Amino acid sequence: MSTEIKIKIAIGADHAGFEYKELLKSHLEAYELKDFGTYSADSVDYPDFAHPVASAVEEKEYTFGILVCGSANGVAITANKHQHIRAAICWLNELAALARQHNNANILCIPARYVSVELAKEMVTTFLNTAFEGGRHEGRVGKISC
């Protein structure tokens, strides 16, 4: 009997992140994935997609979340309103690693207007394959929630 844990990913984007979201979905074919929208490049409000992704991760229906918008600020601010979410804006691969290692981030926020598609894919891979280091970081992360 296998004890392998299947990583489940919730993904969402606004209109500025729609194209990247679609490209990332094909990069994530090995994972169980749920797309929370948007489903076109038509103008939308980012909280309408960030909240459902954050809720799905917070309720442990999904292991991680990925949110994409133009700057990543809007989706990160929205997701971080959820008590047990640690959404990290990353624009370098090293930041994606540190977000997991030191902050136990559970949602990766990608600024589509400021990173290449290839870098976005690299950050996703790093984020999903990097473990939380715990140790001295455990206490710090424990102080985040209000």
How does pLDDT run across 17-31, given as a tens digit for each residue?
999 999 999 999 999
Q: How many domains does the chain have?
A: 1
Q: Are 27 and 21 in contact (CB under 8 A)?
A: no
What CATH number is attached to the domain comprising 120? Answer: 3.40.1400.10
Residue 108 lies inside a defined structural domain of this protein: yes
Mean pLDDT by 10 residues, the chain (146 residues): 75 98 96 97 98 98 98 98 97 98 98 98 98 92 88
> Residue 133 corresponds to which tokens in the numbers above?
């280091």
Residue 146 among the catalytic residues: no
Catalytic, out of 51, 84, 90, 102: 102
Q: What is the pLDDT of residues 126-136, one digit of tens each?
A: 999 999 988 89
Q: What per-residue confidence (pLDDT) applies to 145? A: 84
Residue 1 lies inside a defined structural domain of this protein: no
Residue 72 lies inside a defined structural domain of this protein: yes
Domain that residue 75 falls in? 8-142
> Residue 58 corresponds to which tokens in the numbers above?
């917070």
Looking at residue 91, the DSSP 8-state letter turns out to be: S
Q: What per-residue confidence (pLDDT) applies to 3? A: 52
Residue 120 lies inside a defined structural domain of this protein: yes
d(CA 18, CA 62): 20
Backbone dihedral angles phi then psi of residue 75, each to the nearest 5 degrees: -70, -35
> Residue 67 corresponds to which tokens in the numbers above?
């949110």
Residue 3 lies inside a defined structural domain of this protein: no
Q: What is the pLDDT of residues 43-56, one digit of tens each?
A: 999 999 999 999 99
Residue 2 lies inside a defined structural domain of this protein: no
Catalytic, out of 51, 69, 82, 109: 69
Residue 84 among the catalytic residues: no
Q: What per-residue confidence (pLDDT) applies to 90? A: 98
How many residues belong to the chain? 146
